[in-house]
Structure 1
Amino acid sequence: MAQLLKVHGSENQFFILDQTQLNNQLSDDELKRLAIKICTPENEILNGADGLLVVNDSQFTDCLGQMRVINADGSEAKMCGNGLRTVSRYLSEKFSKSSFKIETFETNLEVKKSVDFYTNVPAFSVEISPISFAKDDLPFEYKNKLELVDEEIPEFIKGQKFTAIAVPNPHLISFVDEIYEDDLGDLGKALNTPNPYFAEGVNVSFCEILDNNKLFVQTYERGVGFTNACGTGMSATSLAFALLNGDYFNPDEDITVYNPGGMVKTNVQLSAHKEDSKIHLIGNATFTHELRINENDLHSSKLDNIEISETGEEDDYQEFVSSINEA
C-alpha cells in the first residue's frame, strides 16, 4: 500500500506523495492525472486541494530531497512556499533533521524547524529565492518597460499601482486601502487566460497595510484561482512592502502577514541591489489526514478505494486561528 498525506500551510491545501517509498515511481503524465483527480473537490476526496507535492530523491548530496509542485490543473509550479513548509516538516521527521536543504525546480533552498506557532501547531522557516524583477524572468510585456515597480497600469485597474516580482513564481502585487474580491478575481482571471501582458500567467495579490510590519494579503493563484494563502505571494508582497513603504517597515522585526487561511511571518533583509535581498517565510506545517491506497490504483488514478484517517491536528490549528482573531 502507498501512503499520501493531506496537509496545509495557512489552509493552502495539498496532498504529499513520497515517490521514494513506491516500488515504481509515477510518470509525469501519471502525476498530472493524479493531481487533477485528487485535487478536484467534486471527486470528494477530502474536499480536494490546491496541488500535489511530490517528494523525490535529490540529485544534490547536500539536499535531503526534491520537491515538485503539481497544481490542481495539472500544471507544474516552480515553487510553493506554503507547500515547502509542509514538505520540510515531512523530511525533518523522516530523517530526524531540524535544518537542511531541499531541491526545488529552480534552486536549492535552506529550511529549518521554528518555534511552534501554537500548541501542536508545528512551524517551519523556509528560504524564498531567487528574486528577480526582470521582465524576462516573469515574463511580462508592458510599454517596453524592463521592470514594473509601483507602476500605474490603467489597463488593469484605474488608480492602482502594481509591482511585478518573480520569487521564482511570477507575482503581481498591488497595495490597496481595501481588497475588493471582484476586482482581484477579474484581474486574476484576465491575466491567467491568453493576454498581451503576462504570456505565462501570473499570481495576483492585493495587500492592505494594517500597521507597522503588519499586512493582510489575498491572492488569485495561477493554476488554482482564489486560495486561502499563497506562500510565495506573501513573500513577494513582503519584499514589495519593505521596498515601497519604508514608513511602515521595521527591518529589525519579522513582518506579520494575515491571510484568509490564518497567519504567517516573513523576514525581509533588503539589499542595495534589490534582487540580492533575503526573504524567509515562517508558518505552520499541518498534517490533517493520512491516506493509504493500492500502488497500482495510484498509477491509474483510481481513487475509489482509499483508507483515510484523521491526525487531529486541524483542531489545534483552528484553535490557533481563533486565538489570532481574538487578539
Structure 2
Amino acid sequence: MVELLKVHGSENKFFILDQTKLEQQLSDEQLSNLGQKICDPDNNILNGADGVLVVNDAKDASSIGQMRVINADGSEAKMCGNGLRTVSRYLSEKFNKDNFKVETLEADLDVQKSQDLANNVPAFSVEISPISFKAKNLPFVYKNMEEMIDEKIPEFLPDQTFTAIAVPNPHLISFVDKIDEKDLGQLGKYLNSPNEYFPEGVNVSFAEIRGKNQLFVQTYERGVGFTNACGTGMSATTLAFALLYPDQFEQDKDIEVYNPGGMVKTHIILGKTKEESQIHLIGNATFTDKIEISEDDLHALNFKNTTIASTHEEKSYEKFVDSLK
C-alpha cells in the first residue's frame, strides 16, 4: 500500500506523494494526470486541493530530498512556499532532522523546524530564493521595461501601481487601500490566459498595509486560481513592501502576513542589491489526513478503494486561526 498525505500551509492545500516509496515511479504525464484528478473537488477526494507535492530523492548530495509541485491543472510550478513547509515537515520526520536543505527545480533551499505556532500546530521556516526583478526572468513584456517596480500599468487597472518579482515563481503585486476581489479575479484570469504581457502567466497578489510590519495579502495563483494563501506570493509581497514602504518596515522584526487561510511570518533582510535580499517564510505545516491506496490503483488513478484517516490536526489549526481574530 502507498500512503498519501493531505496537508496545508495557511489552508493552501496539497497532497504529498513520496515517490521514493513506490516500486515504479509515476512519469511526468502520470503526475500531471494525478494532479488534475486528485485535486478536482468534483472527484470527492477530500474536497480536492491546490496541487500535489512530489517527494523524490535529491540529485544534489547537499539536500535530503527533492520537491516538485504539480498544480491542480496539471502544470508544474518552480516553487511553492506553503508547500515547501509541509514537505520540510515530512522530510524532518522521515529523517529525524530539524535543519537541512530541500532541492527544488531552481535551487537547494535551507529549511528548519520552528517553534510551534500553537499547541499541535507545527511550524517550519523556509528559504525563498532566488530573487529576480528582471523582465526576462518572470518573463514579462511591457514598453521595453527591464523591471516593473511600483509602475502604473493602465492596461491592467488604471488606479493601481504594480511590481513584478520572481522568487522564482513570477509574481505581480499591487498595494491597495482595500482589496477588491472582483478586480483581482478579473486581472488574474486575464494574465493567466493568452496575453501579450505575461506570456507564461503570473501569480497576482493584492496587499493591504495594516500597520508596521503587518500586511493582508490575497493571491490569484497561476495554475490554480484563488487560493487561501500563496507562500511565494506572500514572500514576494513582503519584499516589495520592505523596498517601497521603508517607513512601515522594521528589518529587525518579522513581518506578519495575514491571508484568507490564517497568518504566516516572513523575515526580510535587504541586501546591497534587491536581488541579494534574503526572504524566510515561517508558518504552519499541518497534516490533516492520511490516505492509503494500492500502488496499482494509484497508477490507474482509481481512488474508489482508498482508506482515509484523519490526523485531527485541523481542529488545532482552526483554534489557532480563531485566536488571531
Which band: TM-score by shorter chain?
over 0.9
User: Which 4+ stretches in 1 moved above 4 angstroms?
Assistant: none
One-letter amino acid of the counterpart of residue 169, structure 1: N
Taking the aligned partners of 1:103 and 1:45, their CA distance within structure 2 comes to 28
Taking the aligned partners of 1:305 and 1:221, their CA distance within structure 2 comes to 32
Residue 125 (structure 1) aligned with residue 125 (structure 2): yes
Deviation at 1:150, TM superposition (A): 0.3
Q: Provide the alpha-carbon RMSD of the alignment.
A: 0.4
**Secondary structure at the counterpart of residue 297 of structure 1:** helix
Residue segments in structure 1 that go unaligned for 5+ positions in a row: none
Q: Is the CA contact (8 Å cut-off) linking 1:30 and 1:300 kept in structure 2?
A: no
Partner residue in 1 for 2:201:
201
Give the count of matched residue pairs. Answer: 325
Partner residue in 1 for 2:226:
226
Deviation at 1:272, TM superposition (A): 2.1
One-letter amino acid of the counterpart of residue 73, structure 1: D
Partner residue in 2 for 1:271:
271
Taking the aligned partners of 2:146 and 2:270, their CA distance within structure 1 comes to 21
Taking the aligned partners of 1:296 and 1:9, their CA distance within structure 2 comes to 29
One-letter amino acid of the counterpart of residue 107, structure 1: A
Q: CA-to-partner distance for each residue in 1:27-60, whole Å, 9 max, x for gaps?
A: 1111111110000000001100000000000011
Deviation at 1:62, TM superposition (A): 1.3
Q: CA-to-partner distance for each residue in 1:92-149, whole Å, 9 max, x for gaps?
A: 0000000000000111000000000000000000000000000000000000000000
Alignment of 1:39-78 (within 5 A): 39-78=39-78
Partner residue in 1 for 2:29:
29
Partner residue in 2 for 1:235:
235
Deviation at 1:303, TM superposition (A): 1.2
Alignment of 1:157-236 (within 5 A): 157-236=157-236
**Secondary structure at the counterpart of residue 63 of structure 1:** coil
Taking the aligned partners of 1:178 and 1:235, their CA distance within structure 2 comes to 20
Residue segments in structure 2 that go unaligned for 5+ positions in a row: none
Partner residue in 2 for 1:14:
14
**Secondary structure at the counterpart of residue 249 of structure 2:** coil
Deviation at 1:71, TM superposition (A): 0.1
**Secondary structure at the counterpart of residue 123 of structure 1:** strand
Alignment of 1:111-150 (within 5 A): 111-150=111-150
**Secondary structure at the counterpart of residue 252 of structure 2:** coil
Taking the aligned partners of 1:232 and 1:169, their CA distance within structure 2 comes to 7
Taking the aligned partners of 1:324 and 1:123, their CA distance within structure 2 comes to 16
Identity of aligned residues (%): 69
Deviation at 1:178, TM superposition (A): 0.2
Deviation at 1:228, TM superposition (A): 0.1
TM-score by length of 2: 1.00
Q: CA-to-partner distance for each residue in 1:42-92, whole Å, 9 max, x for gaps?
A: 000110000000000001111110000000000000000000000000000
Q: CA-to-partner distance for each residue in 1:183-222, whole Å, 9 max, x for gaps?
A: 0000000000000000000000000000000000000000
Taking the aligned partners of 1:245 and 1:56, their CA distance within structure 2 comes to 40
Taking the aligned partners of 1:243 and 1:202, their CA distance within structure 2 comes to 21
One-letter amino acid of the counterpart of residue 265, structure 1: K
Residue 289 (structure 1) aligned with residue 289 (structure 2): yes
Taking the aligned partners of 2:226 and 2:97, their CA distance within structure 1 comes to 34
Partner residue in 1 for 2:252:
252
Taking the aligned partners of 2:300 and 2:111, their CA distance within structure 1 comes to 33
Partner residue in 2 for 1:303:
303
Taking the aligned partners of 2:177 and 2:259, their CA distance within structure 1 comes to 16
TM-score by length of 1: 0.99
Q: Is the CA contact (8 Å cut-off) linking 1:38 and 1:49 kept in structure 2?
A: yes
